[in-house]
Chains A and B, each alone.
Chain A
């Protein structure tokens, strides 16, 4: 039995090492994705282009504008005279927001407890728009507390502190999640392709007539990909530490153990796909739709699950990456213990077993 498995693993390594496409998925893809997601998908928004209409022209209004100008979050593109210009520039996308300071703002500030200015935001990109509102609010609050005229009025201030990711760096959130996406890709996609390739070329037929047991074929076929996906995962974490300075706080042994549960899930899905697909093309498409896309879109990798509509939120329950995201982010950023992520761990075991059972049943019925 050991001899037979060894022979298949050896052959599988030849396939991997001689196929540029497989090599690209295993080695080039993680590098590319880490760089793309780490740098290009930068959710730390800076230099927001804004415009101002200052109807007041007072010392107070100038002080406020000065603060916006000094902030690295905003980049003042335009001082307009009237609303039409601003409207036009918002429409063209030259500016993403506009602040309108009404006449009498400076006078008001001296007498009234509350003064108002208007903020117009381009809401076509809601995430961006929200960020703009938050930054503008924070800046105005800071400004008004610093330029306090009357001592009678002491505003309540949050002394806020962000836990786990104090600088709110997007990369800290995204890169650990990438481990899930890459592992899913290597395990589910490549395993299903390698099995359907044997069916397509007719070599599976010869394997089935040989003394090799089906379970040995499958074991030998998945082992190389399991090892490679663990190497990929470790590689991404080293990269994360060195390039993005992501802390890696928790217990890495615990992370490895729970990663194996995730790999188990990914492999089960890969086998399920290959039990249905007869050609490599079909397997690739199915793996893309059934594993990669959900792992990116429905896992909380980028888009928060709690803000999805209820039916979609329910659908995320069968996306293994959802649970693994919580595990890997929890362990790396919050140093979570097993107790904290045990629900997710159990979910992975259950999901993996369900997928594996369906795959086994499908293989059996097809073999007859």
Chain B
């Protein structure tokens, strides 16, 4: 199953009772890729991420992350990934530095490792000035950056970002994506869900999910050409409304 790909999913399925949240999805992500995971709310993106990160057990299919089986080796997976949620998940009554120290601690980093990681991150993310401020008191763009720093300080091989730019101003979003590119260049694989269609254009490859299924997958430029649309947003709308028409026809 391992052929240079760091994420693999084969017919991955998750049912909740009668409801199929993720319906037999198959895809793979190569090392260092920035992979965009698109879909409307409720399309099954979060459920897929939760299965890949080992919080949720699939009801069907199989998959691997960083070479480890997502059903049997969840603990090994967790040690090799970083995760940033859309809520940014900082402790607001802790300073930026204390947040970093906490997340470093739960990844088992020694204080020596942490202080060198912090030094590197402060420089790279340009956040030296805010390190002593409470996370609750800094602007959203800085919270996002801090949250990202928490997710990457233990040098994960794969970074999962669940809607990482929600509510953040365009300038901060742009700066954030610059960092994402940097990370990808240094060999970290980035798996990102978003519903900002302009962000999808920044990804190396995207997949569009609808009603639990992946309806298309590929390079944004190639997809735009294939469907003869100007933007990914148009591709998305075209595919999703098409898929809806098909479901309705088959139901009738």
Tell me, yes or no, whether A binds B: yes
Q: Which A residues fall within an 8 A CB radius of B?
A: 3-4, 6-8, 10-11, 14-15, 18-19, 201-203, 205-213, 367-368
- How distant is the Cα of A209 from the Cα of B87 in the complex, in angstroms? 14
User: Quick one: which of B103-158 are within 8 Å of A by CB?
Assistant: 103-108, 110, 150
B102 interfacial contact with A, CB 8 Å: yes
Contact A205 B103 (CB under 8 A): no
Which of B57, B88, B103 makes the CB contact (< 8 A) with A210? B103
- How distant is the Cα of A367 from the Cα of B55 in the complex, in angstroms? 8
Task: List 18 contacting pairs A-B, 8 Å CB cutoff, sorted by A.
Answer: A11-B91, A11-B98, A11-B102, A14-B91, A14-B93, A14-B98, A202-B86, A202-B88, A206-B83, A206-B85, A206-B150, A209-B160, A210-B83, A211-B79, A212-B106, A213-B75, A367-B55, A368-B57
B41 interfacial contact with A, CB 8 Å: no
A184 → chain B, closest Cβ, in Å?
25
- How distant is the Cα of A19 from the Cα of B134 in the complex, in angstroms? 13
Given contacts A4-B108, A205-B87, 8 further A-B contacts (CB under 8 A): A3-B108, A3-B110, A7-B101, A7-B104, A209-B55, A209-B160, A211-B106, A368-B57
- How distant is the Cα of A7 from the Cα of B85 in the complex, in angstroms? 20
Q: Closest 8 interchain pairs by CB? A: A7-B105, A202-B87, A209-B83, A206-B89, A203-B89, A18-B93, A11-B102, A211-B78
Given A14-B98, A206-B85, A211-B75, verify A8-B106 contact (CB < 8 Å): yes
Given A15-B91, A210-B78, A210-B107, verify A202-B102 contact (CB < 8 Å): no
- How distant is the Cα of A7 from the Cα of B110 in the complex, in angstroms? 11
Contact A11 B94 (CB under 8 A): yes
The size of the chain B interface, using a CB distance under 8 A, is 33
- How distant is the Cα of A202 from the Cα of B54 in the complex, in angstroms? 17
- How distant is the Cα of A209 from the Cα of B65 in the complex, in angstroms? 13
Contact A208 B55 (CB under 8 A): yes
B56 interfacial contact with A, CB 8 Å: yes
Instruction: Specify the main secondary structure of chain B where it touches its partner.
Output: loop
B81 interfacial contact with A, CB 8 Å: yes
Q: Which residues of B contact A10 (CB under 8 A)?
A: 102, 105
Contact A14 B94 (CB under 8 A): yes
B194 interfacial contact with A, CB 8 Å: no
B137 → chain A, closest Cβ, in Å?
12
Which of B91, B108, B150, B160 makes the CB contact (< 8 A) with A211? B108
B141 → chain A, closest Cβ, in Å?
18
Q: Which residues of B contact A18 (CB under 8 A)?
A: 93
B164 → chain A, closest Cβ, in Å?
13
Contact B89 A202 (CB under 8 A): yes
Pick the most buried of A203, A210, A367, A368: most chain B CB atoms within 10 A of its CB. Answer: A210
B154 → chain A, closest Cβ, in Å?
9
A366 → chain B, closest Cβ, in Å?
12
Closest A residue to B86 by CB, please name it. Answer: A202
B239 → chain A, closest Cβ, in Å?
29
Instruction: Specify the main secondary structure of chain A where it touches its partner.
Output: helix
- How distant is the Cα of A206 from the Cα of B159 in the complex, in angstroms? 12
Given A202-B85, A206-B85, verify A7-B57 contact (CB < 8 Å): no
Contact A201 B87 (CB under 8 A): yes
Contact B85 A205 (CB under 8 A): yes
Closest A residue to B57 by CB, please name it. Answer: A368
- How distant is the Cα of A8 from the Cα of B105 in the complex, in angstroms? 8
- How distant is the Cα of A271 from the Cα of B233 in the complex, in angstroms? 45
Contact B54 A209 (CB under 8 A): yes
Q: Which residues of A contact B75 (CB under 8 A)?
A: 211, 213
- How distant is the Cα of A6 from the Cα of B101 in the complex, in angstroms? 11
- How distant is the Cα of A185 from the Cα of B239 in the complex, in angstroms? 55
Pick the most buried of B87, B91, B107: most chain A CB atoms within 10 A of its CB. Answer: B91
Q: Which residues of A contact B92 (CB under 8 A)?
A: 201
A198 → chain B, closest Cβ, in Å?
9
B48 interfacial contact with A, CB 8 Å: no
B53 interfacial contact with A, CB 8 Å: yes
Contact A205 B93 (CB under 8 A): no
Contact A209 B81 (CB under 8 A): yes
- How distant is the Cα of A6 from the Cα of B90 in the complex, in angstroms? 18
A206 → chain B, closest Cβ, in Å?
4
B228 → chain A, closest Cβ, in Å?
39
Contact B93 A4 (CB under 8 A): no
- How distant is the Cα of A212 from the Cα of B54 in the complex, in angstroms? 12
- How distant is the Cα of A157 from the Cα of B81 in the complex, in angstroms? 83
Contact A211 B107 (CB under 8 A): yes
Q: Which residues of A contact B103 (CB under 8 A)?
A: 206, 210
Q: Which residues of A contact B89 (CB under 8 A)?
A: 201-203, 205-206
Q: Which residues of B contact A3 (CB under 8 A)?
A: 105, 108, 110
Q: Which residues of B contact A8 (CB under 8 A)?
A: 102, 105-106
A195 → chain B, closest Cβ, in Å?
14
B50-62 CB mask vs A (1 if < 8 Å, else 0) is 0001111100000
Q: Which residues of B contact A211 (CB under 8 A)?
A: 75, 78-79, 106-108
- How distant is the Cα of A184 from the Cα of B160 in the complex, in angstroms? 40
- How distant is the Cα of A6 from the Cα of B114 in the complex, in angstroms? 15
Q: Which residues of A contact B87 (CB under 8 A)?
A: 201-202, 205
- How distant is the Cα of A93 from the Cα of B85 in the complex, in angstroms? 64
- How distant is the Cα of A15 from the Cα of B134 in the complex, in angstroms? 12
